Amino acid sequence: MPHDDSHSSPQRCAWARTDPLLASYHDAEWGVPERDSRALWEKLMLDGFQAGLSWLTILRKRDAFRAAFEGFVPETVARFTPADVERLMQDAGIVRSRAKIEAAIGNARAYLAMQATGEDFSDFVWGLAGGQPVVNATGTVPTQTPLSEAMSKALKQRGFKFVGPVIVYAWMQATGIVDDHAPDCHCHRSQRRA
């Protein structure tokens, strides 16, 4: 007799099956197109802090990051001083990497410099992607692509740091610029109900 799994949890991408926090993040946020410039910037900063660590580590610390970085408001973070860097280096609730902390502060300044020249962050990144989510139809998930390489290069040209093509690709997945849900995942376009 076939197994009736109609009451079991939905099928998810493999990485989201190992922890309830990952499952919740996967179902509610990951791959959902984000168009808000400030939210895109915050997520890019968190992906930068993830470098060398697991995403679960960052998710568990996300509220502490938001508190430590005063809501990830670029205008506020851009004004952080060396004393703020030292304060953050003592905050056990976040990843205490001086290079990553200083990069986030510099990235706030780069974000504001873009705004000052009339360049909207969301329009910029979505424009590089063609304005719509790039749907990965292969079922295999790369760690970087020509698009993430181009976006990384463009961000670096604007003064951003900790934005290599692998970090940028993970961020593109998280913010829905790329749709990399597995074909059998309930969040994949082919599985969604109209």
Nearest to 74 by CA among 105, 47, 48: 105
Distance CA 116, CA 131 (A): 22
Residues 160, 137 contacting (CB under 8 angstroms): no
Distance CA 9, CA 79 (A): 45
To the question of domain 33-191 being in CATH 1.10.340.30, the answer is yes
For residue 121, with 0-12 CB atoms within 10 Å meaning exposed, 13-18 middle and 19 or more buried, which class applies? buried
Q: How many CB atoms lie within 10 A of CB 175?
A: 26
Q: In whole angstroms, how large is the CA radius of gyration of the chain? A: 18
Residue 9: DSSP 8-state:
P
Q: Model pTM?
A: 0.91
Tokens standing for 51? 């470098």
Q: How many CB atoms lie within 10 A of CB 30?
A: 21
- 10: which residues sit within 8 A by CB, 6+ positions away? 27, 186
Nearest to 182 by CA among 129, 133, 141, 132: 141
**pLDDT tens per residue, the chain (194 residues)?**
443 444 467 899 989 999 999 999 999 999 999 999 999 999 999 999 999 999 999 999 999 999 999 999 999 999 999 999 999 999 999 999 999 999 999 999 999 999 999 999 999 999 999 999 998 766 678 899 999 999 999 999 999 999 999 999 999 999 999 999 888 889 887 766 54
- How far is Cα of residue 97 from the mean position of the Cα atoms in its chain? 18
Distance CA 124, CA 152 (A): 12
* SS3 state at 178: strand
